[in-house]
Structure 1
């Protein structure tokens, strides 16, 4: 059977229409061979586009299929399809959120753990989550307020600085800078004077350094000699000497030896005190009666005798 040109043309037109419908549906995100489940939710306003993604826990599981305005309720009804393999409760929530700065809005399934599973065609309750742009707008608004305050402070500071720079009085900034410049010049001149003085006395400074080095060497030699001394033996000898002294003092304290007896024996002290008293009495008697002790006769006359009381004893004839 031979096809006529008209039949061929009709077939091509029909195929073109089919491909156009399929392509248009594909570009819209619809698949005419799709067997996903379709669910519905409602919002007070429309901020979605057809083919917007539907996610659960951050994973894309479907897309927005249709957006219809309900004249009876005044709400926007959204039809979305998800894979049949996904099962979730009909008490779950469909949340409208902002996918990103340039990504538009999307739907998120917030599941609830129960046994009342959603069926194809069920109406699921909805909610709206605060978007990223709104959050950033709030942050930028606060930042703008803070920036305004900072700029106002900077403006005030610059005004005060201008007044300070323009002040020509004695306490002004220019006067202060001039005084500072003069002070720096004075310090510069002093530094040159010190350098000249150091150069002039370079020989003396060198001699002082040499003397210091010699002194340091002497101290080093002395330190080496002290290190060579047997400190342990010296300390041991000193301890032995101190031990002997302590032993001697202990003996004196006990009354041993002549010094100990002299310091501790009361009898010896009493005898010495008595002897001293008798010596004193003897000297006193010698002063009063010298004739008792010195007998001198020029012509051989016999010396007189005296008793203990100083009376003359007559000789028997």
Structure 2
């Protein structure tokens, strides 16, 4: 089947126009194979919204801000261009709201999807503010940053003090280790000085070994068995003596356990004491002595 040349020329012309159109768009910076749709949102003022800020849908990032520009002819309002994943197309009833994304991230855009008519490429969406949106108080933030800075300064001073103390401790430890090394060296020298004479074959332990051997031999020659037998008999005799003394059978036991004998001896001792006292006080009653002899009565 032959194709008419006019059809071929028409197809080629149509293809050339398509290539020219998409090539022109590509040269203008449009990604014809992009999976994102571009939308424009206008705000009366810019509330800390910057390029690359995230566009979120129920907490999920589905796009980003690609351009933020001011419009002098529109009362210096802010025109924000975003690219949004084609899976989430906006309609004329959808909402694009400015919200806080955190102190570190700045602000972000949050969208709400609603059924409606699709938005054209040149349509501009009126931006809104999220109900939870709060402007960050720069003065309060500055005060917090100043407080954090002061705390960091105090922490740094504390760390410096700790480092100084560590340096002092290290110096003290070094001195202590040096002194310990000196003491260990002295102890080692003293041990060498003590052990050297002991190792001497003439005056040390080797010379004492024959003496110790002889001493141990004499100790082994002692009849410990006979000595033990004698000590045992002696202890038995002492035990027997104590038993006789404690009982009334022996003479010594009778002497100890007889109360009458005890009282008689005690009475005799008292009489003897009285006699000695009287003899001391009045010796003339018992002793008569004269230089010229006895006097006749």
So what's the TM-score if we normalise by structure 2?
0.36
So what's the TM-score if we normalise by structure 1?
0.34
Whose relative contact order is higher, 1 or 2, with alpha carbons under 8 Å and at least 6 apart? 2
